[in-house]
């Protein structure tokens, strides 16, 4: 816990931050009371709506409770669900699908996002306006936009297929982005990249802007080639920021639900069934509350665990 | 302005480099805008135009999508239509030309109102609680401060689906299922973590001397907070509020799992706008356009704070 907390502080410091706790305490008897009065309600709300449900989920994961049969006897079943999930090939498949999405979206978004940030950092005329334009998709609702992309992906009338056929000459009705087993995962990656590349770009841009000019000036004096400057200064100095972007995107995409649910609903077959979709099916369609609670805990622990491992790596990069 | 300064710097990119960079970025921006422009264009098409192939870039604008969005219609036989008095309003005529009559308003307005109430309600609460907590964390010695701050942040790491089950059960016990209050509380809880982290950053930047001076002048701690800190933090509070608003406005997972009618917001509603024989894409596009406009405005207002907001203030610009 403290590991991740220190790393967040590091992330904080990476971009010159207000030092914490440097100011002297202010006199006044009631300050302690005021502090709790200020912080208490937030903590209570989070306990009630986040921690209590989480603890309840843990409890439910050991029972055979079904939310659609609230009056049935609840029996403790021990670790049965966990055992079942960890040996269930469908769950492993969903985990793999999720991992594929996480990896591919990160690769595409990082390459595009860093490239864009690098270009914008050249400060061409009007870069401010165009940066704002690029940022728009990221602010929209993934669900609403995802839904509209099903329209863009229509094989008969969709703009996407038309565009592809316009550029490549392939018959537009010969491929179905959302209906084909091979293409549907890519359909989601494309929409995700469309929405979230700006996010990576923004963080990378902050990284690039944090590199002081004098380093480049020194390199210039040393007659380092632009190529050399890019790989020896730009990339390493922006790396903590790139990794931060990857961390945030990774956590978000591990939970990916909105877009997948509306674009493909997990289909065709189960080619795009990510863990969140499995979870929703088990919890709210099959009403296997105990089973889905166990899966929720496994998902949560995975996100948390991976984030912590990654954060350690992030720290190492920063301490270099 | 900075052009002059850059002229003296050895590392300033050449004009050609900058032009190429600009051209590439603008190309990307234009490509990325196509889907959005397409949504707006589709909202002004007729249903047949919307599914024409090749896609119609030039078309006669129509408000049919918007009419269909706001109404429910029934198909009538020509004989029945002949017996009806001639349509007067333009939207009646439009619907009548498709052999239909308007049966009544659609659900879109209540859904929109729900979105507004839930988004604004939860934003207000999250910013209120967040401001107090952020001030508390910024100015007081709180035991386990770092752990509490991390705890607050970690609640945001939870997949919504993972907590949706017990929240669903809890709300069922409390009678909060499918209520606006329930959704407001839920979104407040999700947003408060962002609000605390962001606002702490903003408040940290306000010199303590302001309050100290105020307190030396005889103000109490609370008065000093209100009169010296809040006005200074106003920009930060506004930026935080817009971030919370955007989240609550766009949220889908909880909305689709925990609401069905009474408290349903726009995101779960829009995909289910159905027309005759399948999805009525102009109406969906109209709903999406109306839904997205506030966010566009906010994005432009927010552009200076975007980075801070999306990284919980962990990175500053």
CB-nearest partner of B21 from A15, A124, A300: A124
Stretch B126-140: mean pLDDT, rounded?
94
pLDDT at residue B311, as a whole number: 79
A28 pLDDT above the threshold of 70: no
pLDDT at residue B308, as a whole number: 82
Closest CA to B247 of B295, B284, B286, B289: B295
Its pTM surpasses 0.95: no
Stretch A43-66: mean pLDDT, rounded?
91
Of A15-29, B125-139, B212-226, the poorest mean pLDDT is in A15-29
- CA–CA–CA angle A17, B317, A208 (5° rounding): 105
> Residue B233 has which token pair?
């933090």
Please, which residues 65-84 of chain B have a Cβ atom closer than 8 Å to chain A?
none
Stretch B155-174: mean pLDDT, rounded?
86
A6 pLDDT above the threshold of 60: no
Task: Work out the pLDDT band at B56, boundaries 50, 70, 90.
Answer: confident
Residue from B24, B32, B242 to probe the interface with A (highest A Cβ count within 10 Å): B32
Taking contacts as CB-CB distances below 8 angstroms, the residues of chain A near B54 are 162
Task: Work out the pLDDT band at B151, boundaries 50, 70, 90.
Answer: confident
Mean residue pLDDT of chain B comes to 88
Task: Work out the pLDDT band at A68, boundaries 50, 70, 90.
Answer: confident
Whether chain B has a CB inside 8 Å of the CB on A48: the answer is: yes
For B281-296, write each residue's pLDDT tens digit. 999 999 999 999 998 9
- Cβ within 8 Å, pair A257-B253: yes
- Cβ within 8 Å, pair A130-B136: no
Percent of chain B residues past pLDDT 70, beyond the cut: 96
The verdict on ipTM greater than 0.90 is no
For residue B86, the distance in angstroms to the closest alpha carbon of chain A comes to 35
pLDDT at residue A26, as a whole number: 47
Q: Looking at chain B, how many residues does it have?
A: 317
Percent of chain A residues past pLDDT 90, beyond the cut: 48
Stretch A200-204: mean pLDDT, rounded?
93
Of A102-106, A191-195, B4-8, B15-19, the poorest mean pLDDT is in B4-8
Instruction: Report yes or no: A289 and A67 within 8 Å, Cβ to Cβ.
Output: yes
Q: How many CB pairs under 8 A join A and B?
A: 348
- Cβ within 8 Å, pair A299-B317: no
Please, which residues 220-249 of chain B have a Cβ atom closer than 8 Å to chain A?
221-222, 246, 249
Stretch A182-194: mean pLDDT, rounded?
94
CB atoms within 10 A of CB B60: 9
Stretch A198-214: mean pLDDT, rounded?
91
A21 pLDDT above the threshold of 50: no
Instruction: Report yes or no: A293 and A60 within 8 Å, Cβ to Cβ.
Output: yes
Task: Work out the pLDDT band at A34, boundaries 50, 70, 90.
Answer: confident
Stretch A10-19: mean pLDDT, rounded?
45
Whether chain B has a CB inside 8 Å of the CB on A320: the answer is: no
pLDDT at residue B7, as a whole number: 42
- CA–CA–CA angle A68, A73, A76 (5° rounding): 100
Taking contacts as CB-CB distances below 8 angstroms, the residues of chain B near A30 are 221
A200 pLDDT above the threshold of 50: yes
pLDDT at residue B158, as a whole number: 79
Sorted by sequence, the CB contacts under 8 Å of residue A212 that are 6+ apart come out as none
Question: Which of A15-29, A81-95, B116-130, B134-148 is most confident?
Answer: B116-130
Q: How many helices (H) and strands (E) does chain B have?
A: 17, 4
Task: Work out the pLDDT band at B3, boundaries 50, 70, 90.
Answer: very low
Instruction: Report yes or no: A57 and A296 within 8 Å, Cβ to Cβ.
Output: yes
For residue B307, the distance in angstroms to the closest alpha carbon of chain A comes to 6
DSSP collapsed to 3 states, chain A: CHHHHHHHHHHHHHCCCCCCCCCCCCCCCCHHHHHHHHHHHHHHHHHHHHHHHHHHHHHHCCECCCCCCCCCCCCECCCHHHHHHHHCHHHHHHHHHHHHHHHHHHHHHHHHHHHHHHHHCCCCCCHHHHHHHHHHHHHCCHHHHHHHHHHHCCCCCCHHHHHHHHHHCCCHHHCCCCCCCCCHHHHHHHHHHHHHHHHHHHHHHHHHHCCCHHHHHHHHHCCCCHHHHHHHHHHHHHHHHHHHHHHHHHHHHHCCCHHHHHHCCCCCCCCCCCHHHHHHHHHHHCCCHHHHHHHHHHHHHHHHHHHHHHHHHHHHHHHC
DSSP assigned state of B72: E
- Cβ within 8 Å, pair A202-B306: yes
- Cβ within 8 Å, pair A279-B161: yes
CB-nearest partner of B185 from A18, A49, A128: A49
- Closest-CA residue of A relative to B131 is A38
A167 pLDDT above the threshold of 80: yes
């Amino acid at each position: 816990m403290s590991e991740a907390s220190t790393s967040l502080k590091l992330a904080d410091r990476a971009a010159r931050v207000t030092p914490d706790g440097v100011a002297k305490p202010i006199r006044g008897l009631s300050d302690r009371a005021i502090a709790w009065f200020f912080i208490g309600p937030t903590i209570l709300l989070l306990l009630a709506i986040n921690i209590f449900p989480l603890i309840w989920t843990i409890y439910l994961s050991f029972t055979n409770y079904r939310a659609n049969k609230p009056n049935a006897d609840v029996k403790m079943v021990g670790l049965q669900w966990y055992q079942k999930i960890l040996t269930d090939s469908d769950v492993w498949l969903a985990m793999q699908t999720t991992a594929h999405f996480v990896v591919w979206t990160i690769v595409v978004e990082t390459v595009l996002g860093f490239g864009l940030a690098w270009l914008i950092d050249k400060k061409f005329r009007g870069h401010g306006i165009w940066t704002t334009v690029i940022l728009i998709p990221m602010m929209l609702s993934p669900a609403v936009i995802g839904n509209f992309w099903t329209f863009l992906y229509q094989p008969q009338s969709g703009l996407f297929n038309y565009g592809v056929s316009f550029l490549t000459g392939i018959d537009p009705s010969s491929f179905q982005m959302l209906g084909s087993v091979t293409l549907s995962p890519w359909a989601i990656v494309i929409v995700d990249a469309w929405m979230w590349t700006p996010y990576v770009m923004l963080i990378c841009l902050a990284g690039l802007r944090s590199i002081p000019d004098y380093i480049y000036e020194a390199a210039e004096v040393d007659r380092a080639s632009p190529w050399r400057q890019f790989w020896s200064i730009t990339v390493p100095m922006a790396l903590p920021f790139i990794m931060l972007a990857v961390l945030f995107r990774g956590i978000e995409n591990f939970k990916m639900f909105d877009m997948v649910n509306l674009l493909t609903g997990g289909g065709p077959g189960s080619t795009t069934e990510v863990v969140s979709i499995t979870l929703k099916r088990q919890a709210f369609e099959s009403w296997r509350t105990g089973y889905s609670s166990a899966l929720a805990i496994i998902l949560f622990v995975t996100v948390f665990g991976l984030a912590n491992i990654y954060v350690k790596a992030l720290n190492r990069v920063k301490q270099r | 302005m900075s052009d002059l300064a850059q002229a003296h710097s050895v590392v300033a990119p050449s004009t050609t480099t900058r032009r190429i960079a600009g051209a590439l970025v603008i190309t990307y921006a234009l490509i990325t805008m196509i889907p959005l422009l397409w949504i707006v264009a589709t909202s002004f098409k007729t249903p047949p135009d919307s599914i024409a192939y090749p896609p119609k870039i030039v078309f006669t604008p129509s408000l049919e999508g918007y009419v269909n969005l706001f109404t429910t219609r029934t198909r009538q036989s020509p004989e029945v239509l002949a017996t009806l008095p001639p349509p007067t309003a333009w939207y009646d005529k439009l619907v009548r030309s498709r052999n239909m009559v308007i049966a009544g308003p659609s659900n879109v307005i209540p859904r929109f109102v729900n979105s507004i109430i839930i988004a604004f309600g939860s934003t207000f609460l999250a910013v209120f609680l967040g401001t107090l907590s952020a001030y508390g964390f910024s100015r007081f010695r709180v035991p386990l401060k770092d752990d509490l701050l991390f705890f607050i942040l970690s609640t945001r790491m939870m997949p919504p689906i993972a907590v949706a089950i017990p929240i669903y059960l809890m709300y069922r016990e409390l009678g909060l299922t499918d209520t606006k209050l329930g959704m407001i509380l839920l979104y407040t809880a999700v947003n408060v973590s962002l609000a605390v982290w962001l606002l702490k950053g903003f408040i940290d930047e306000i010199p303590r001397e302001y309050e100290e001076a105020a307190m030396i002048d005889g103000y109490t701690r609370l008065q000093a907070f209100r009169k010296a800190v809040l006005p200074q933090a106003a920009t930060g509070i506004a930026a935080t509020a817009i971030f919370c608003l955007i989240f609550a406005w766009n949220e889908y997972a909880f909305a689709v799992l925990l609401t069905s009618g009474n408290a349903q917001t726009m995101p779960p509603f829009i995909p289910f706008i159905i027309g005759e024989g399948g999805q009525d894409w102009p109406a969906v596009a109209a709903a999406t356009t109306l839904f997205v406009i506030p966010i566009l405005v906010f994005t432009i207002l927010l552009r200076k704070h975007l980075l801070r907001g999306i990284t919980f203030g962990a990175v500053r610009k």
